[in-house]
Amino acid sequence: MPEIKLQHILTIVELLSKGARHNFVEVTTTELGKNIGRSQQAASKHLLDLENSGYIERAKKGQKFAVKVTDKGYSEIQGLFSSLRAALESTPAAIDFEGKVVSGMGEGAYYMSLEGYRKQFKEKLGYEPYAGTLNIRLIDQIFMNARRELGKQPSIFINGFSDGTRTYGWVKCYRAVINDGRVNNAAVLVLERTHYDDSMLEVISPESIKQATGMKNGDRVKVQVQLA
Amino acid sequence: MPEIKLQHILTIVELLSKGARHNFVEVTTTELGKNIGRSQQAASKHLLDLENSGYIERAKKGQKFAVKVTDKGYSEIQGLFSSLRAALESTPAAIDFEGKVVSGMGEGAYYMSLEGYRKQFKEKLGYEPYAGTLNIRLIDQIFMNARRELGKQPSIFINGFSDGTRTYGWVKCYRAVINDGRVNNAAVLVLERTHYDDSMLEVISPESIKQATGMKNGDRVKVQVQLA
DNA sequence: ATTACTAGCTTCCGAGTAC
DNA sequence: TGTACTCGGAAGCTAGTAA
């Protein structure tokens, strides 16, 4: 939480990029104003304020000023930088879903049984999934929104194929954890051609998830998708 | 140059650090306001503005809201982050000085001749300096300010020593370039016990700098100190 | 308990201008 | 040319309060 005023950030960053960390650099308020998208007067005020706060030093150089950022000013910006990095990196790369177990239409089992998919699952996911998907009905609009955006994330990509009779679409897989770790090696599927809307999540796993966890239709379930 | 309003930065960073990159997270405006150091009303306005600008999405969750940062909002912050990093890193790690060559008091030659120093110069600097220092009188207040702060920078440290009769103070060395590259392997000295004030710069080099460059007393000279 | 509207105050900015 | 003052208006914030 920087104690520097927000308006001054652009100014001090501009000074730093001009090399004012270690040297006094000559800047005019007109030029500075243009670079930060403000007026000459605003730039002048910024420099005055920054000087009074001890964030910069100034020295008269003829008619102009030469400006240098002080240690205090520099560490202020570095603090802000750290906050930003923390906010951007601490981002837990996971998407959480909650829903209720529902019975599928038996389609999952059929698709999982196709050799064209099984081969690729084994190769790219590391296991051959149990012949059947766990279907989860999402219980809130926010999860459906997230579900809709899931396909944008980098995925384990299973190619579509043709068996001579018909073609089968691609499948994007996302590694996932069920109920806070009860099942760790599941995967959520995003299908090119799905029969469900955004409120449904299809999950596979090496074993039957229902058996492994003892959950039954109607039970509440949490799914956490891990992003790369 | 972010087009996001400065006031909104803190808010969106706070949301991101709460994990609102990929998930809708529940936040109250009161709590948010406290965390960004503003009132509940200000936080509420921020969320409204950010939503209208497409930087965040919101979904009613009972009485509260659940908030998620959109791709647009995220890239906006990443842009700002990049600007900051550029400003902090592009900082050319060098301090520039300008002054006039003056004749020293012959002390430089004496100290350079002491074995207790020569051994260390050879070891840490990579050469035994010419027996004499180039003395430069700085010609502007801004260079004297910089001179005063030079000692804070990380240096090549030459330990003090005693020869049984008296003790000699430490010396901090900073690699430097003279006149834009005419001499590349010089070093500026900061002495524990100096006889000069902040307006004087003492420089050493493997060869006589005056001879190598043909400069004489009174000539103007530029010295660029390289920082680690 | 929430969110968010309104009124009024403070801060910030830009135009004009002194120096 | 420069910097920086005053002044009027815009923007941002808070307190009070409605819903």
Q: Considering only CB atoms, which chain B residues are within 8 Å of A24?
A: 142, 145-146
Ranges B7-21, B77-91, B169-183: which has the least confidence: B77-91
pTM: 0.77
Band of residue A74 on the pLDDT scale cut at 50, 70, 90 = very high
Interchain CB contact of B86 with A (< 8 Å) = yes
**pLDDT tens for each residue of B67-90:** 999 999 999 999 889 888 888 887
Give the SS3 label for residue A76: helix
Between vectors from CA B162 to CA B161 and to CA B164, what angle results, nearest 5°?
A: 165
As a whole number of angstroms, the distance between CA B222 and CA B56 comes to 52
Q: Which of A197-201, B105-109, B187-191, B193-197 has the lowest mean pLDDT?
A: B105-109
CA atoms within 13 Å, Cβ hemisphere of B192: 11
Chain A: nearest CA to B147, how far in angstroms? 10
Q: At residue B50, does pLDDT exceed 90?
A: yes
Lowest mean pLDDT among A4-13, B17-26, B36-45, B89-98: B89-98
The protein residue nearest D4 (Cα–C1') is: A44
Contacts of A103 (CB under 8 A, 6+ apart): A135, A217
pLDDT band of residue A10 (cuts 50, 70, 90) is very high
Of the candidate ranges A25-39, A177-191, B92-106, B157-171, the one whose mean pLDDT is the lowest: B92-106
The DSSP-derived string for A80-134 is HHHHHHHHHHS---EEEEEEEEE---SHHHHHHT-HHHHHHIIIIISSPPPSS-E
Cα atoms in the Cβ-side hemisphere of radius 13 Å centred on A115:
2
Chain A interface includes B25 (CB < 8 A) = no
Would the pLDDT of B222 be above 70? yes
pLDDT above 70: residue B179: yes
Q: What is the rounded CA–CA span in Å between residue A210 and residue A122?
A: 21
Q: Which amino acid is at A50?
A: L
Name the residue facing B17 among A6, A66, A90 (closest C-beta).
Answer: A90
Chain A contact present for B217, CB below 8 A: no
pLDDT of residue B217: 94
Sign of CA dihedral A77, A78, A79, A81: positive
CA pair distance A194, A199, nearest whole angstrom: 12
Task: Identify residue A198 by its one-letter amino acid code.
Answer: D
A154 touches chain B (CB under 8 A): no
Question: Which pLDDT band, with edges at 50, 70 and 90, does B27 fall under?
Answer: very high
- Shortest distance, CA B19 to any CA of chain A (angstroms): 5
CB contact under 8 A, A142 and B37: no
Tell me what pLDDT residue B197 has: 86
Residues with Cβ within 8 Å of A162's Cβ and at least 6 positions away in sequence, in order, are A168
Q: At what angle do helices A40-52 and A6-17 cross, to 10 degrees?
A: 90
* Residue contact B23–A96, C-beta within 8 A: yes
DSSP 8-state secondary structure symbol assigned to residue A16 = H
A214 touches chain B (CB under 8 A): no
B142 shares contact with chain A (CB less than 8 Å)? yes
Tokens representing B60 are: 């009613």
CB-contacted nucleotides of strand C (7 Å): 1-6, 11-16
Interchain contact, B140 vs A61, CB within 8 Å: yes
Residues whose CB falls within 7 A of nucleic chain C? Answer: A 5, 7, 33, 37-39, 41-42, 45-46; B 27-31, 40-41, 44, 47-48, 63-65
Contact status of A95 with chain B (Cβ, < 8 Å): yes
| Contact assessment for residue A204 and residue A189, using Cβ atoms and an 8 Å cutoff | yes
Which pLDDT value is given to residue B2? Answer: 56
Does residue B1 register a pLDDT over 70? Answer: no
Give me the pLDDT at residue B109, please: 80
Nearest by CB to B141, which of A10, A59, A83?
A: A59
Please tell me whether residue A159 adopts helix, strand or coil conformation: coil
Give B89-142 pLDDT, tens digit per residue.
876 788 999 999 998 777 778 888 899 999 999 999 999 999 889 999 998 888
Q: How far is A202 from chain B (nearest CA, A)?
A: 19
Mutate which: A22, A24, A58, vs B, most B CBs within 10 A: A22
Q: How far apart are the first and last CA of chain B?
A: 29
Q: Which of A13-22, A196-205, B28-37, B80-89 is least confident?
A: B80-89
Q: What is the mean pLDDT of residues B19-35?
A: 93
Q: Which residue of A has its CA nearest to B227?
A: A22
Residues whose CB is less than 8 angstroms from the CB of residue B82 and which lie 6 or more positions away in sequence, other chains included: none
Structure confidence at residue A136 (pLDDT): 95
Does residue B228 surpass a pLDDT of 70?
Answer: yes
Residues of A within 8 A of B23 (CB-CB) are 94-96, 146
Beta-carbon contacts of A212 under 8 Å, excluding residues fewer than 6 positions away, are A182, A183, A205
pLDDT interval class at A2 (50, 70, 90): low
Rounded CA separation A223/A183 (Å) = 10
Q: Cα Rg for chain A, rounded, in angstroms? A: 28
Measured CA to CA, the distance from residue A149 to residue A207 in angstroms comes to 27
- Let me know if B218 is exposed, middle or buried by CB neighbors in 10 A (0-12, 13-18, 19+): exposed
- Measured CA to CA, the distance from residue A201 to residue A133 in angstroms comes to 9
For the segment A26-58, what is each residue's pLDDT rounded down to a tens digit? 999 999 999 999 999 999 999 999 999 999 999
Q: Is A16's CB within 8 Å of B95's CB?
A: no
Contact: A146, B90; criterion CB under 8 Å: no
Spell out the alpha helix ranges (H) of chain B: 6-17, 29-36, 40-52, 71-89, 107-112, 115-120, 141-150, 209-213
For residue B53, give the DSSP letter: T
Task: Enumerate the β-bridge partners of residue A60.
Answer: A65
Mean pLDDT of chain B: 91
The integer distance in angstroms from the CA atom of A201 to the C1' atom of C11 is 50
What token pair was written down for B148?
């005063």
